[in-house]
Amino acid sequence: MKKIILSLLMLTSFSAYKANAQMGAAQKVKWDIEKEADINMELDAVWDVFQNNELLKKASDGYVSAIEVIDANMPISRKIGFSNGGNRLENITQNEAHNKLIAIDFVDSNLPKGIKAAQYAIFFKANGSKTNVKWRALVSGDSDAKQALVKQLTAEFDSYAAGLEKMTKKSIPAVRMN
């Protein structure tokens, strides 16, 4: 009986040791792009813009010319058309209304030459009557291709920040009619 108890004790201690040995230390993600903007809109209004392709296109301030959903099932596949004539296929892998988070991966077959993987995430957080929007992107590939894609994504994120801000401006009539 003593041997059985000792064997069970050793077995459980080894399995606990093995489980702990497999756990790696959490690593902080080093983003290639971090863009942040405070938008003068309520959180739900900004979230709604990112859920509506026509509003999202308008929010791009002319940078995006078309957004076409290819497959509406998760992961949501869509094709983004740019005003310069280019396009991108991407998959929305997370769209969490409760966390106000959208995560997007580039489709591997559509990656620019020299890029191995690319993804970005958009985080939304209420900041009083404003909304803080953060765009963060990770790009892996050779340095020249990575630098070009980082530049393109930075311009895209900048255009969304500018377009969202323009959407908050109220129009004032130029002439009063009597």
Q: Quick check: is 14 in a domain?
A: no
The amino acid at residue 55 is: L
Q: Quick check: is 2 in a domain?
A: no
- What's the predicted TM-score (pTM) here? 0.79
Q: Which pLDDT tens digit goes with each residue over 85-124?
A: 999 999 999 999 999 999 999 999 889 999 999 999 999 9
The domain tally of the chain equals 1
**What is the CB neighbour count within 10 angstroms for residue 29?**
9
Q: Quick check: is 51 in a domain?
A: yes
Full residue range of the structural domain in which residue 61 is found: 39-168
Q: Quick check: is 69 in a domain?
A: yes
**What is the CB neighbour count within 10 angstroms for residue 55?**
16
Q: Quick check: is 87 in a domain?
A: yes
pLDDT tens-digit profile, the chain (178 residues): 555 554 555 555 554 444 444 556 667 779 999 999 999 999 999 999 999 999 999 999 999 999 999 999 999 999 999 999 999 999 999 999 999 999 999 999 889 999 999 999 999 999 999 999 999 999 999 999 999 999 999 999 999 999 999 998 765 555 555 5
CATH code for position 45: 3.30.530.20
C-alpha neighbours within 13 Å on the C-beta side of residue 131: 23
Between the alpha carbon of residue 95 and those of residues 28, 79, 91, the distances in Å are 22, 17, 11
How would you classify the pairing of strands 130-141 and 101-106? unpaired
pLDDT at 146: 96
Q: Quick check: is 102 in a domain?
A: yes
- Distance between alpha carbon 127 and the CA centroid of its chain, in Å? 19
Q: Quick check: is 11 in a domain?
A: no
